[in-house]
Amino acid sequence: MRKVERVATRRTVNRLSSDDRISDIMAAARAAVTEKGYEKVLISDIAERAGVVEGTIYRYFENKRDLLVKVAEAWFGGALSEDSRIDSIDGTMNKLRHLAWRTLSIIRREPVLARFMLMELRPDPSYRGSPFFDLNQRFTSDALRVCKQAIASGEFHDDVSAPMLRDMLFGCIEHRTWAFLRGEGEFSIDEVADGVAKVIYRGMLAAPAAASSADRLDEITGRLEQVTQALLKKT
Amino acid sequence: MRKVERVATRRTVNRLSSDDRISDIMAAARAAVTEKGYEKVLISDIAERAGVVEGTIYRYFENKRDLLVKVAEAWFGGALSEDSRIDSIDGTMNKLRHLAWRTLSIIRREPVLARFMLMELRPDPSYRGSPFFDLNQRFTSDALRVCKQAIASGEFHDDVSAPMLRDMLFGCIEHRTWAFLRGEGEFSIDEVADGVAKVIYRGMLAAPAAASSADRLDEITGRLEQVTQALLKKT
DNA sequence: CGATTTGATAAATGTTACTCATTAGTAAGT
DNA sequence: ACTTACTAATGAGTAACATTTATCAAATCG
């Protein structure tokens, strides 16, 4: 607790509106974190890019994490709102494929931000209850709803739960994306979206088509036999 | 670069063999990281538990990360070697289920270590080429082999690649585990292993029944044509 | 037993996130 | 216009770590 001696060497002061300051800092933070990732990015770096001094950042944001959480929220919220509604898509298979596709698109456009969000933020204890939690919830709940509906209507088997299916979808997508970020090979968004949707859809289909095909075949075969017999009698 | 003045207050010195020192430190580190996770655990904490001073740790390990990487490697390598060989299991479905089950078991037994390994270590740029990379490779390559075999033998469709299937399997498992660690509900290892294996298996099965339906349709169509022709001749 | 090597020790240093006393600029009151 | 009160920016400082290093106790060896 030593007494503090301060020197009065002060330059000019930048006076702007709060909104401008905040958006400057967030833009700088976004650029910096996109380049370096959460651990590596320094507050001093962000401050320099934004043209302010470190202390100024702490006037507008609680701490480093708070700042970057807000950056991630702004980005993810914006990306989500661009998307068309899932209900307008016909058929469970197409719905699943679209969900996979849109997730891959968002992640692929800003992989470092996505990584920060899904791997650094999500594990945090304070994650639940944060506005980001709601965003992510809204995101994955579409998939959950589609699966539940398919199970309830009898289109899907009921021997695997809807949350399991949701986790297969997003788990595959994320796993594949992180592997890509590590440099373990390329992949095509369309191919992954189609593959994962296809496996889930085919794996869960309660196969009414196959059953009814067999029934109808039996029926047709029977009638054909009748006709054949009738024809034979005539000759 | 100030000149350093040191005081000669020294207590007794603990002199042990290098091996003992190393295993003491690793045991302490493992206990500490299991309790607190990578970020939170302090070198000073590990040193205290191991009964050494901080500097001693740096005689045997490059840095904090190096120490914890070695801890994770030792644990994961041990857990893997306990497992029975996958080839002795009959049937693709059973193989997939066993792979899922053994992964879930290992992760579930030491979730914090697993999290550290799969989420902190794996994304690291220096990850490739590390001994841990090989371990993980060996781990997932079993799944890859099983899927490739099933595709090659015609048991599975060939319209989704084997690496996709592997990523669905491990992606689902990891996603589900992290959700559990976040406190988002319980889950049973058996249920998840069975579910994910079931969906992949059913979704990829080349469905010979459907093919035979097509054959029967061809046959019926042919016969119907005969009958029609016969009927037309009569009239 | 004395010299030399080994390796443990405690203090120093470096790096960052974060705090706070101080002041530049602004608005309000008279 | 001039004082006063307020707000926001500043940058030197603090705290919490990981990591380095000069020093010395113990072990080993000739």
Each residue of A165-224: pLDDT tens digit? 999 999 999 999 988 888 888 889 999 999 999 999 999 998 655 556 666 677 777 777
**Which of B127, B175, B216 is closest, CB to CB, to A167?**
B175
pLDDT in tens, B171-229: 999 999 988 888 888 889 999 999 999 999 999 998 655 556 666 677 777 777 777 77
Given this model, what pLDDT does residue A130 score? Answer: 79
B170 CB neighbours in chain A (<8 A) are 171, 175
The CATH number linked to B45 is 1.10.10.60
Q: Do residues A155 and A105 share a domain? A: yes
Contacts of B115 in chain A (CB under 8 A): 123
Instruction: Summarize the confidence of residues B4-19 as an average pLDDT.
Output: 58
Name the CA dihedral angle for B60, B63, B65, B68, rounded to a multiple of 10 degrees.
30
Contact with chain B for residue A129, Cβ under 8 A: no
DSSP state of A84: P
Taking the C1' atom of every nucleotide in all shown strands and the CA of B58, the nearest one is: D19
Average pLDDT over residues B10-19: 64
pLDDT value of position A136: 84
**CA–CA–CA angle A58, A60, A65 (5° rounding):** 65
Give the structural domain span for B86.
70-204
Whether residue A222 is contained in a domain is answered as no
Residue of chain A with shortest Cα separation from B175: A171
Q: Is B90 in the same domain as B170?
A: yes
- The set of residues, in sequence order, having a beta carbon less than 8 Å from that of A227 and lying 6+ positions away, is B227
Q: Are B32 and B49 in contact (CB under 8 A)?
A: yes
Contacts of A224 in chain B (CB under 8 A): 220, 223-224, 227
ipTM of the complex: 0.80
A211 touches chain B (CB under 8 A): no
**Protein-contacted positions of strand D (CB under 7 Å):** 8-15, 17-27
Q: Give domain status of residue A221, yes or no.
A: no
Q: Which amino acid is at A40?
A: K
Q: DSSP letters of B65-82?
A: HHHHHHHHHHHHHHHHHT
List residue ranges whose Cβ is under 7 angstroms from nucleic strand D: A 1-2, 4-7, 9-11, 13-16, 18, 21, 52-56, 59; B 4, 6, 8, 10, 12-13, 15, 41-44, 54-55, 58, 63-65
Number of domains in chain A: 2
Q: Which pLDDT value is given to residue A19?
A: 75
On the question of pLDDT at B167 being above 90, the answer is: yes
Residues B113 and B174 in one domain: yes
When pLDDT is cut at 50, 70 and 90, the band that residue A2 belongs to is: very low
**Domain assignment present for B157:** yes
Same domain, A79 and A170: yes
- Residue B118 has what pLDDT? 87
State the Cα torsion B120-B126-B132-B138 to the nearest 10°: 110
pLDDT score for A4: 44
* In-domain check, residue A82: yes
Residue A70's pLDDT is 93
Q: What is the mean pLDDT of residues A155-169?
A: 96
Q: pLDDT class for B8, splitting at 50, 70, 90?
A: very low
The CATH number that applies at residue B81 is: 1.10.357.10
Chosen for mutation from B130, B158, B172, B201 (greatest number of chain A CBs closer than 10 Å) is: B172
pLDDT of A185 reads 84
